[in-house]
Structure 1
Amino acid sequence: MGASVEGGLTRTGRDRVLSVLPYYHIYVSDYDLTSLKTITSGAAPLTKELIFGVHKRLGIHVKQAYGLSETSPVTHIQKHWDVALGSVGPALPNQTVLFMSPDAKEVPHGTEGEIWIRGPNVFKGYLNNENATKECLTEDGFFKTGDIGYRDEDGNMYVTDRVKELIKYKGFQVAPAELEGLLMGMEDVQDVAVVGVHDKERETEIPVACIVPAKGVVRGREAEERIVKWVAERVAGHKQLRGGVRWVDEVPKSASGKILRRELRTWLKEEKEKGRVKARL
């Protein structure tokens, strides 16, 4: 944990509100949080299961917020922690938010699309990078966030994943964050990252769960099969862990707590190559 976050978690009798990344919510039982009343989470989607888990264990209200550096920085925040759970709340004043299909057409409420935002807070472009600016800013001032989400009838926004991180399985799109949130609700799992890997036999991408096992869980085929079955009972057919489970000591993350999926995909590819070499020997 970063020093500033850890310091905020260890002080008692003073702090009432804490802003923290979803990654840190799994460690709440390790700290004295008796003074806290509200946790605000951002930078990555937070599932209903994890929100309920924190509230049940500690009685703390957990809200979500959304924004990017390019939007200076917050555009959404939940008004009430127990309303529209799993959402980041409605847009703040002076924000225009669209949800767009891959062919740049607006989709209706309840349908996932790329989140586009326009407002006085949105940046004007990247310094000395005209190409990147043209790619993400439309002529009428909308910023293409690269995030996928949808809006309910009450105007609350739900962020499901990043466009670039979606796993394409036989024409379907699978959001890693959805599977990660589900798996975090399983007692066998301490931490998890889901990535897509190419399967030559199926000629498509398939989801693989890289899991840090909870204390007492024995790594092996029995636990792997139990986890795969548990997920299969709770998701649609195209979202199943067809790539199985891989055990890891830790999930690689950036300084801001975001999962470094590229590192995991590289590691999985290397492990697969090692397996082929052993098979030939």
Structure 2
Amino acid sequence: MSGSPDSNIFIPDVDIWTFLFERGSKPFSNDQVIYTCSVTGRHYTYDHVRNTASKFGCALIRRWSWQKGDVLALFTPNNIDTPAITWGCQWAGGIVSPANPAYTRAELSHHLKDSGAKAVVTHKSLLNTALEAAKDAGLPRSRVILIGDERDESEQVSHFTSLLSFADSNQARVKMNPNTDLAFLVYSSGTTGLPKGVMLTHTNIVSNLAMVATVDGVMLKSKIDKVLSVLPYYHIYGLMFLIHLPIYIGVESVTMARFEIETFCSLIQENRITYTYVAPPIVLRLAKDALVDNYDLSSLRMITSGAAPLTKELILAVYQRLGIPTKQAYGLSETSPATHVQHWESWRTAMGSVGQALPNLTVKFMDLDGKETSQGEPGEIWIKGPTVFKGYLNNPVATSEAITRDGFFQTGDIGFQDVHGNLFITDRIKELIKYKGSQVAPAELEGILSTHPKVKDIAVVGVYVDAIASEVPLGYIVPVHGVVPDEGTAREIVDWLATRVVKVKQLRGGIVWIKEIPKSASGKILRRVLKADAKNDKAMAAIKFQAPGNRQKL
């Protein structure tokens, strides 16, 4: 078990607004630019965010009779108006529930109904879907408003700025109980089923922000560093590190609506970006995409990768190609999110780890029998501390299954801790492949296969084969441009892997060539999609257990 009272920090018993905007002092001025739009150059200073947020919160109360605990859904790509809207809702006592901007009408309708949203904030590009979903959820059109630089020419909905005129300086901010009142209702990625509403309190977020600041907050400097914000704001990773952390430590965040490799590289070059938070797919592109050579990325001091495991092979590939170090972080929606953030200086000495536990957390590793493992032995990661969520919305059964009676959250992730306290993630419990009694971690095979010169992207899943009454590893591979996706190439890759892993870890299911690996917006491989594909594919019956597969899907 790790975690010591000696490493704890003081966390004030306040809500998010007080923590960010009513602190006694801060290491930057009120006119510090915090959020900048990468397309238009429009920006918000610290003071501008605070003033806009308080006006919006006041307008919610006076115009819509906003009540404490009302939910505001955000259905929008990354936008520099999002932070002010977020804290404005909380100023009025509300709960913010970000929704995936890739949602269909049905998916957004479910989100609105499940969260009990009282209004929807969206972007012009998503207006039709938002209006349709709002109608399904029983929300009037007047409760749909826009953010961003575009207005609705048809005048079906208003822009949020039109509400600001209803603000009244005499309106008092709603008082919150940080420990019990919710700040966010975020939805899990749904890689194992329907998304669940994760209830996060003000204390959860304030604690995590204070804890993360002991690592990245020390290294990032106001007026010196610039962060490129490419991770989706609706995801807890982006919500914490790209919305909350910049305004807490006073660094400029250059906002991208969505990831595109050329735009990503050009913005780093043009804005002299010094830091960025990414998911493993972006690290993979930086390591392998030929377009990267067209840009000067030398301003980047460090990259942090999170949301999914990243192998040391990819870390080395990026460093050898670009001279940019990459460190890792780990967390979950249910832990607000970060539990581990690798220190800058340890990216090389603890390569492949996600670093040490943040202050105020207790971490232990449990075997399948519910017993704590020995030092260095892998087990399910259990975490306890002030960032552990309140529970799943309207789902007491799932909550009781996730949180133990003594307050530990059972992450479902498997890992181990070295003698220095560095955490190494090996895989998810439900994603482990059991080959004839032996456990095979897909992430390990993916890390190795990603280094093959003919592999652009890779996902490994387990498929059950009746003939041997066992699962076997099956690789879904996106070939590098110009590579012929045929049986010969598949055999070459499978044989290559066989020289690098023990027999139980070989790709006995073979290879399926595919155009793109399905992933969530946060970069997690959607293995359930691939498993469903394999299960429904009649050709699976023809798998050769000692030879590479030859099925193609291009």
Shorter-chain TM-score: which interval? over 0.9
| Distance in 1, Cα, partners of 2:342 & 2:354 | 5
1:279 corresponds in structure 2 to none
| Distance in 2, Cα, partners of 1:108 & 1:88 | 20
Residues 305 and 326, structure 2, Cα contact 8 Å, conserved in 1: yes
2:279 corresponds in structure 1 to 21
The answer to whether the aligner puts 1:245 opposite 2:511 as a matched pair is yes
Residues 190 and 213, structure 1, Cα contact 8 Å, conserved in 2: yes
The answer to whether the aligner puts 1:63 opposite 2:327 as a matched pair is yes
The answer to whether the aligner puts 1:266 opposite 2:532 as a matched pair is yes
**Residue 133 (structure 1) aligned to one of 376, 391, 399:** 399
Q: Deviations over 1:195-237 (max 9, x none)?
A: 1001111110000001011122211121111111111111111
Counterpart code for 1:54: V
1:186 aligned counterpart, secondary structure = coil
**Matched ranges for 1:109-128 at <5 A:** 109-128=375-394
| Distance in 1, Cα, partners of 2:452 & 2:325 | 22
| Distance in 2, Cα, partners of 1:109 & 1:222 | 44
The answer to whether the aligner puts 1:10 opposite 2:299 as a matched pair is no
Distance change in 2, residues 1:253/1:190 (3 Å): same
| Distance in 2, Cα, partners of 1:275 & 1:232 | 22
Residue 270 of structure 1 deviates from its aligned partner by: 2.7
Residue 264 of structure 1 deviates from its aligned partner by: 1.1
2:314 aligned counterpart, secondary structure = helix
2:391 aligned counterpart, secondary structure = coil
Residue 9 of structure 1 deviates from its aligned partner by: 3.8
Residues 39 and 63, structure 1, Cα contact 8 Å, conserved in 2: yes
TM-score for the superposition, normalised by structure 1: 0.94
Larger CA deviation: 248-257 vs 37-46: 248-257
**Matched ranges for 1:105-254 at <5 A:** 105-254=371-520
Residues 5 and 20, structure 1, Cα contact 8 Å, conserved in 2: no
2:308 corresponds in structure 1 to 44
2:467 aligned counterpart, secondary structure = coil
Residue 10 of structure 1 deviates from its aligned partner by: 2.7
2:414 aligned counterpart, secondary structure = strand
Residue 8 of structure 1 deviates from its aligned partner by: 4.8
Counterpart code for 1:95: L
Residue 57 of structure 1 deviates from its aligned partner by: 0.4
Residues 8 and 15, structure 1, Cα contact 8 Å, conserved in 2: no
TM-score for the superposition, normalised by structure 2: 0.48
2:168 corresponds in structure 1 to none
Counterpart code for 1:51: I
Q: Deviations over 1:154-177 (max 9, x none)?
A: 110001111111111111111111
2:416 aligned counterpart, secondary structure = strand
| Distance in 1, Cα, partners of 2:342 & 2:499 | 31
Counterpart code for 2:404: T
Residues 45 and 177, structure 1, Cα contact 8 Å, conserved in 2: yes
The answer to whether the aligner puts 1:72 opposite 2:336 as a matched pair is yes
| Distance in 2, Cα, partners of 1:147 & 1:245 | 26
Residues 211 and 247, structure 1, Cα contact 8 Å, conserved in 2: yes
The answer to whether the aligner puts 1:35 opposite 2:293 as a matched pair is no
Q: Deviations over 1:71-118 (max 9, x none)?
A: 111111111211211000110111110010011101112211100000
Residues 54 and 60, structure 1, Cα contact 8 Å, conserved in 2: yes
Paired residues, what number?
Answer: 276
Distance change in 2, residues 1:158/1:104 (3 Å): same
Residue 253 of structure 1 deviates from its aligned partner by: 1.1
Q: Deviations over 1:238-268 (max 9, x none)?
A: 1111101111111111122211111111222
| Distance in 2, Cα, partners of 1:145 & 1:274 | 32
Counterpart code for 2:495: K
2:537 aligned counterpart, secondary structure = helix
2:546 corresponds in structure 1 to none
**Residue 523 (structure 2) aligned to one of 257, 260, 265:** 257
| Distance in 1, Cα, partners of 2:540 & 2:390 | 47
Question: Equivalent pairs: percent with the same residue?
Answer: 55
The structure whose Rg is larger is: 2
Residues 14 and 35, structure 1, Cα contact 8 Å, conserved in 2: yes
| Distance in 2, Cα, partners of 1:9 & 1:147 | 32
| Distance in 2, Cα, partners of 1:75 & 1:132 | 21
Where does the alignment leave 5 or more consecutive residues of structure 1 unmatched? 277-281
Q: Deviations over 1:123-158 (max 9, x none)?
A: 121121100000010011000001011111111000
Distance change in 2, residues 1:123/1:230 (3 Å): same
Counterpart code for 1:19: Y
Distance change in 2, residues 1:217/1:8 (3 Å): closer
The answer to whether the aligner puts 1:97 opposite 2:355 as a matched pair is no
